[in-house]
Chains A and B, each alone.
Chain A
Amino acid sequence: MWHRVVPFFEDRFRVVSFDHMGSGRSDLTFYEPEKYSTLDGYVADLLAVCDALDLQDVILVAHSVAAMMAIKAAVASPRSFRRLVLVAPSASYVNDPSDGYVGGFTQEDIVGLLESLDSNYFAWSAALAPVVMRNPAAPELTDELEASFCRTNPDTARNFARVSFLSDIRSDLRDVTVPALILQCSEDLLAPPEVGRYLNGQLAGSTLVELEATGHVPQASAPEETAQVILQYLATDSS
C-alpha cells in the first residue's frame, strides 16, 4: 500500500517497510493465534523489527489499525521513536455512549461486522493479500504471486479484523510522550473527523492535519499530498 509514498522519502531517509504477520508476504508458519489475538503481539513484532535492525531515532509511520500499534509501541518503548506519523488513525472504532466518544460505529455495526467475518469469510481473507501491481512485462510472475497468496490461512484475516475493530487504546493515549502527526482524511468511513480531533486532544505534543484526500487510504488515493504533509511536518522538527 505504501509504494507510492515511499519514493518521496528514500533520498533523505532509510525506509524500512514490512508486512504484519498474517498479511502480505509474512511467513504464516510463525503465526500464533494466541499471540495475534491482541494488538500486543503485533506491537512486539514491531519493536522486534526495530531491535533487529538496530534502528535509532525512528519516525514511525503507521496507517489505520497499525496506528494503534504504533501508539502502544511508543508507550512501551518511548526512547526508540523520534516521531509518530499516524495516518487515518483511530483510538477505538466503536462509539462510547458513556463518555460521548465517537468512533464511527455503533455496537450494532460491530455485530454486523463480526457476522460478516464468517458470512463473507473468503473475501476478508483475500483482503489481507498484498495489492499486486500489474507488471505488463511479466504477467505470469504476478499470477504466480497471487496464487501463492491465495493459499494463506483465511482465519488469520478474520482474527486480524476482530483485533482491529474491537481494540480500544484510549487509555494508552495519556502515556504517549513521543510527538505525533495525525493525518485525518475527509469522508473516511473508518475514522470520522471527531476521531482525529479526539486524538489531537489526548496526545501530548501532537499535530493534526486534515487532508484533502478522501477515504481511508490516503497513501493510495493521494500519495503525493500524504508524502508532502509528512515531509513538511518533519522539516519543522527542530531537534
Chain B
Amino acid sequence: MTDGTNYEELYQQAPCGYLITDDTWTITAANDTFLTWTGYSSDEVRGKPLPQLMPIGDRLLHATNSVARMQLTGAVSEVSLEIIDAAGNRIAALLTAVRATGTDGSTEIRVIIFNAHERRKYELELVAARRRAEESEARSLRAEAGLQHLALHDSLTGLPNRAGLASILVRELENAPPGMKVAVLFVDLDHFKAVNDSLGHNAGDELLTVVAQRLSSTVRASGTVARLSGDEFVVVEHVSTLSDATALAERLLETVNGSMVIEGLEVVCSASIGIALTDDDRTDVARLLRQADIAMYRAKARGRNTWDVHDPSQADPATNRMRLLGELRHGIKAGQLRVHYQPRMDIATNAINGVEALVRWEHPTRGLLQPADFIDLAEESGLIRALGAWVLDEAVKQGTHWNRGMPEYAPIAVAVNLSTRQLLDPQLVHTVATTLTRHNFDPHLLTLEITETALMENPAAALNVLTTLKVLGVGLAIDDFGTGYASLTYLKNFPIDELKIDQSFVSGLGSNDGDSAIVSSCIQLAHAVGIRAVAEGVETADQRSTLLTLGCDLAQGYHYSRPLTAESITQWITNQTDAPARRTSAATQPSTEDTVDALISDLASAMENHKEAEAPTGRQLTSPEYLDLNVDLKA
C-alpha cells in the first residue's frame, strides 16, 4: 500500500460496479460506478438485500443457486442476471463474488458487477435463433404428420387405408377392454364393378363415398371404418358377444341397401360381410383380417347381401389355397390335367349331338379333382388363361379326331367352357381362331359356354367379345342359366345360340312345380328368341320324357352318361345300339318382341314364386333387387 487515495479512487471510479455485502447479501457499500450506472443514491442501496435489485426470475436463481454455491465454495462467478435501476429499467449484468473477511473481522461478500449488455443481446439472439429452429422443426414435424396422415388414409373417402387399419388394429388388439373382443367385419360391395363399368369411374367413386359415409355413421364413435381397396371396406368395433357383431353386420347391410342417387340414377347397392372375432390367444392382425376375408367370400357364395362368420374350427382355407395353387402350377406343367367329355344328346332322336369338354385334374394324392375344386383358384391366379387355352386346344383336337375318324356319327359338336377371366382376356378371340385353324375344325361345331355370372361381370365388354366370336362362326351358350344375376332383358341383347338350364331346376322336374314352371319358361323363352334350350344334369328317364314334352332340344346328364375320357367316349358312341338317326334341325323361328317380354315376365315371376316357396339352400336365384339395379343401369 503505497498510496491509499489512488486505491480509493480506483475503487470508486473502477470500470465495473463494486458492492460489499454482509454474508446474507445485504449491501453495506457501493462504488460510484455502480451508483452512477443504476441511478441509485448510496443511501438507497445500503442496507438493502442485493437480490431485491433483481427481477423475480434472477432472484429465484440467486436464492436457489448463488447463495448455496457461495456457502459451499466461497465464490460465484459470472452469474448472468439483471439489475433493476432507479428508473425501473433492467440492466443486463454479470455478477462475480467472493467471500472474504472484512476489516472488522466479520464475513463479507465482495461483489463486482459488469455491464453485460452486449453479451445479453448476443444470448437473446442465440435463444431466438434456437426458438426459430425449434419452430421450424415443429413445422417439419407437423408436415411429416401430414404426410403420415396421407400415407395412412384413403384419399377418396378420407378413411384409414390398409396401412392405417393395420396400425389401428394393432392398437385395438392391445387395448381391448377386459371382457370385450375386437370384431373385424370385412365388407365387400356386390357387383361394384358393374356400376363402375356402366356408369363410369366418377359414379363409382361417388358410390364409394356414399357407402363410406353410411358405414361410418353406423358404427360407434369408438369404432373404425377403413377402406382397403376398391370396394372393400373393413369395420372394427369392440363387442362383448358374437351376436353384437352379427347385429352390427345387419345394421351395415341395412344402411348399404338403402337406395342412393348416383349421377341422377337411383342405384340399389348390396354387400357381403365376413365377420371375425379375436379369441383369447390368437390376436394377430393379419390372421384376423384374413379370417374376415374368408368369411366374406362365404357370404358371397351364399348368395351375397348377407353376412357370414369365420368358424375358428375350420382349417385356414387361405393357406390351403396357397398350397393348392403351387400344386396346380406344377400339375399343369407335369401333365396332370385331363379333358373328359360328356355326351350332349338330342332329346327327340336320342342321337348324340356332341360333347361338352370338362377339365379334370388327376391330383397325385387327392385323386381326380372336379373343376369346382380348382377352377376358381386358376381364375383368381391367372392360371386360367394357359389352362383354358390348353383345354380348348385339346377339345378341338379331339373333336377333329372324332369327326374324321367316325364319319358315320359326324357331325359331333364340341362345347368348351369359358371362365370370366377368359372372356375378358384380349387374346381370347385370337386364341380361338388359331386353335380352329390349327386343327382345321369347323367353327360351327364349336360352342363356347359362358356362365350368366361371367356375362354380368362386365356386360359391355362381354357383348363386344361375343359379337367378335360370333363372326368367327362359333356357337355361344349361356351356362347355368337362372343361377346368376343377369337381368333377363339382357338375354335379347347377346348373340346367343343356346340356353343351358341349370341342373338345380332340372332335378326338380316332376317333383317340384316351381322348378317345372321355371324349366318350362326357360325353354319357351329360348325358343321365343330363336335359340336352343339345353337341359343340364338329366338323371332319370322321367326327367328326359318331361323335357321332351316341354320341347327341350338337347340334354346331358347321368341319364345318358357321366363325363368320360376321350377313349371311353369313342367306345360309348360306337356302343350306342340305335342307329344314328339324322337330327332334325332344332332351329326355331324367333317370336315377336311382345311375346319375348311376356315370357321374360313369366320366368321372372316363376323364379320369384319359387324363391318365396322354398328358401334356397345351396343355390341362388336372381335377386329382384339386382334386377332393379340393372334396369336402372340401362336407363
Residues of A within 8 A of B (CB): 1, 4, 64, 105, 109, 112-113, 115-124, 126-127, 131-134, 165, 187-190, 214-217, 220-221
Closest 9 pairs (CB-CB, A-B): A116-B57, A217-B68, A112-B56, A123-B80, A220-B68, A189-B63, A220-B71, A127-B65, A221-B71
CA distance A105 to B63 in the complex (A): 14
Number of interface residues of B (CB under 8 A): 26
User: In the complex where A118-B127, A122-B123, A221-B67 touch, is A113 in contact with B72 (Cβ < 8 A)?
Assistant: no
Minimum CB distance partner of A110 in chain B: B56
CA distance A21 to B366 in the complex (A): 68
B464 at the A interface (CB under 8 A): no
Q: Is the CB of A115 within 8 A of B63?
A: no
Q: Is the CB of A120 within 8 A of B61?
A: yes
B124 → chain A, closest Cβ, in Å? 7
Q: Interface code B78-91, partner A: CB below 8 Å = 1, 0 otherwise?
A: 01111000000000
For B64, the chain A residues whose CB sits under 8 A away are: 64, 127, 190, 216-217
CA distance A121 to B125 in the complex (A): 11
Q: Interface code B438-457, partner A: CB below 8 Å = 1, 0 otherwise?
A: 00000000000000000000
CA distance A117 to B55 in the complex (A): 12
For B63, the chain A residues whose CB sits under 8 A away are: 188-190, 215-216
Q: Is the CB of A214 within 8 A of B24?
A: yes
CA distance A123 to B56 in the complex (A): 14
CA distance A103 to B242 in the complex (A): 57
User: In the complex where A118-B127, A121-B123, A215-B63 touch, is A113 in contact with B68 (Cβ < 8 A)?
Assistant: no
Show 22 A/B contacts (Cβ-Cβ < 8 Å), sorted by A.
A1-B68, A4-B72, A64-B64, A105-B56, A112-B56, A116-B56, A116-B60, A116-B61, A119-B57, A120-B58, A121-B127, A122-B123, A123-B61, A123-B79, A126-B80, A127-B61, A134-B73, A215-B67, A216-B63, A216-B67, A216-B68, A217-B67
A39 → chain B, closest Cβ, in Å? 17
B69 at the A interface (CB under 8 A): yes
Q: Is the CB of A113 within 8 A of B56?
A: yes
Which of B68, B69, B82 has the most A CB atoms < 10 Å from its CB?
B68
CA distance A122 to B123 in the complex (A): 8
B470 at the A interface (CB under 8 A): no
B490 → chain A, closest Cβ, in Å? 63
Residues of B within 8 A of A (CB): 24, 51, 55-61, 63-65, 67-69, 71-73, 79-82, 123-124, 127, 131
For B57, the chain A residues whose CB sits under 8 A away are: 112-113, 115-117, 119-120
A96 → chain B, closest Cβ, in Å? 18
Q: Which of B56, B58, B68, B80 contacts A122 (CB 8 A)?
A: B80
CA distance A212 to B123 in the complex (A): 39
A85 → chain B, closest Cβ, in Å? 18
A225 → chain B, closest Cβ, in Å? 13
A68 → chain B, closest Cβ, in Å? 14
Q: Which of B60, B71, B124, B131 contacts A189 (CB 8 A)?
A: B60
Minimum CB distance partner of A221 in chain B: B71
Q: Is the CB of A133 within 8 A of B56?
A: no
CA distance A113 to B63 in the complex (A): 13
For B131, the chain A residues whose CB sits under 8 A away are: 118
A237 → chain B, closest Cβ, in Å? 29
Q: Is the CB of A217 within 8 A of B61?
A: no
CA distance A134 to B72 in the complex (A): 10
For B55, the chain A residues whose CB sits under 8 A away are: 112, 116
For A190, the chain B residues whose CB sits under 8 A away are: 60, 63-64
For B56, the chain A residues whose CB sits under 8 A away are: 105, 109, 112-113, 116
CA distance A154 to B521 in the complex (A): 89
CA distance A131 to B77 in the complex (A): 12
For A122, the chain B residues whose CB sits under 8 A away are: 80, 123
CA distance A123 to B120 in the complex (A): 11
Minimum CB distance partner of A190 in chain B: B63
A104 → chain B, closest Cβ, in Å? 10
Q: Is the CB of B68 within 8 A of A215?
A: yes
For A121, the chain B residues whose CB sits under 8 A away are: 123, 127
User: In the complex where A121-B127, A134-B73, A214-B24 touch, is A189 in contact with B68 (Cβ < 8 A)?
Assistant: no
CA distance A215 to B72 in the complex (A): 13
Q: Is the CB of A119 within 8 A of B124?
A: yes
For B24, the chain A residues whose CB sits under 8 A away are: 187, 214
For B67, the chain A residues whose CB sits under 8 A away are: 215-217, 220-221
For B79, the chain A residues whose CB sits under 8 A away are: 123, 126
CA distance A170 to B255 in the complex (A): 53
Q: Is the CB of A133 within 8 A of B59?
A: no
Minimum CB distance partner of B24 in chain A: A214
B117 → chain A, closest Cβ, in Å? 13
Minimum CB distance partner of A189 in chain B: B63
Q: Which of A119, A120, A132, A221 contacts B68 (CB 8 A)?
A: A221
Minimum CB distance partner of B123 in chain A: A122
Minimum CB distance partner of A108 in chain B: B56
CA distance A132 to B451 in the complex (A): 90
User: In the complex where A134-B73, A217-B64 touch, is A120 in contact with B59 (Cβ < 8 A)?
Assistant: no
For A217, the chain B residues whose CB sits under 8 A away are: 64, 67-68, 71
Q: Is the CB of B127 within 8 A of A131?
A: no
For A126, the chain B residues whose CB sits under 8 A away are: 79-80
CA distance A131 to B71 in the complex (A): 11
User: In the complex where A116-B58, A189-B59 touch, is A123 in contact with B81 (Cβ < 8 A)?
Assistant: yes
CA distance A117 to B68 in the complex (A): 20
Given A116-B60, A123-B81, A217-B71, 16 more contacts at CB 8 Å?
A113-B56, A113-B57, A113-B60, A118-B131, A119-B82, A121-B123, A121-B127, A123-B79, A134-B73, A189-B59, A189-B60, A190-B60, A215-B68, A217-B64, A217-B67, A221-B67
Q: Is the CB of B59 within 8 A of A220?
A: no
Which of B59, B64, B67, B82 has the most A CB atoms < 10 Å from its CB?
B64
CA distance A220 to B127 in the complex (A): 32
A12 → chain B, closest Cβ, in Å? 24
A42 → chain B, closest Cβ, in Å? 17
CA distance A8 to B124 in the complex (A): 44
CA distance A165 to B60 in the complex (A): 10
Minimum CB distance partner of A127 in chain B: B65
